[in-house]
Amino acid sequence: MSKKEEVLSAIANDHLGVSKLKALISDMNIADIAEIFEELDKEKSIQTFRILPKAIASDVFAYVESDRQQTIVEALTDAEIGEIMNTVFVDDAVDFIEEMPANVVRRVLKNVQGEKRKIINQILQYPDDSAGSIMTTEYVALREDATVQEAFNTIRNTGLNKETIYTCYVINNNRLLVGVITAKKLMLASPSDMVSGIMDANVVFAYTTDDQEAIADQFKKYDLLAMPVVDKEQMLVGIITVDDIMDVIVEEDTEDMEKMGALAPSDDPYMKTGIFRLAKNRFLWLLVLMLSATITANIIEGLRKALRSCPSLWHLFPCLWTPAAIPARSLRPLLSGAWR
């Protein structure tokens, strides 16, 4: 029995105490814990989330599907909501808020700290599917006139709550993006070296209004783990990490597949979409196909006489193979293999 199955069995049968169940869940990967919630009912989901250690509760919340997130939030107190939302990364908070109804959004934002609430509202104002809408403001920025030793001090003091510390971005006194530097390069440099002397000034970046699909192509082209995002004045305002761009790739590929399957693109998962919603999404494409098929049939019908006079086209138009279209005597050489 896998650990996931063991946890699900323990939750269903209540044969483990809270402390033992808590310890068992704590040893699992965050993504695996989130999968458990997909197989629990509403009541069990709330009970299980409440016993999660505080150190991992916010991380698990970010991985849970939006419908489960709503179920959990509606059952939590304002203090518990504030504790979660103030510890999750900004981009995860924005993703959650975008999926929630207005009444849940109002309650959530009411319990978010002032500065973080301001940042979330700012990101929500960017156009959908733009770089600004998927970026996070939790990154490490280093001054170009700092030494390597000072850079490490900055990382130690600010890196705990940042999305990533493996790639740091170099800014000048006006917060303009001037370079990028990796943690590896900092570790291999002398403590007295200047950041400006070892940074890479050739930075691949995106503007806040750039399309997310184009950014995904740049991630693939340059093998990036993160990309800085700047405003029109070239000031650094955020970064996009590879985990967010993977979500974009899945979203865009799903949209393309839906179009190929004659479905209007939808943000809802296919298996969780109602039959009438699916029929509505497919209706426009089916109408177009029906009209085009009708036009094609009328064209073929109008040319039927001309097509009958050319036997070499019979195999291209099976619709002409009818008793009315082909005399019986014409079938004999065809069936015997004499006709070429």
E strand or H helix that includes residue 310 = none
Residue where the block lists tokens 């014409």 = 330
Residues 6+ apart with CB under 8 A from 278: 263, 270
User: In the structure, what pLDDT confidence band is assigned to residue 237 with cuts at 50, 70 and 90?
Assistant: very high
Yes or no: say if 114 and 103 are a contact pair by the CB < 8 Å rule. Answer: no
3 state SS of 172: coil
pLDDT for 14: 73
DSSP state of 139: -
Chain centre to alpha carbon of residue 267 = 11
Average pLDDT over all residues of the chain: 85
> Could you read off the pLDDT of 51-66 as tens digits, one per residue?
898 889 999 999 998 8
The 141-143 sheet, strands edge to edge: 141-143, 167-171, 177-182
Q: pTM of this prediction?
A: 0.73
> Could you read off the pLDDT of 269-279 as tens digits, one per residue?
656 666 777 67
The helix/strand count (H/E) of the chain reads as 19, 6
> Could you read off the pLDDT of 143-184 as tens digits, one per residue?
999 999 999 999 999 998 899 999 999 999 999 999 999 999
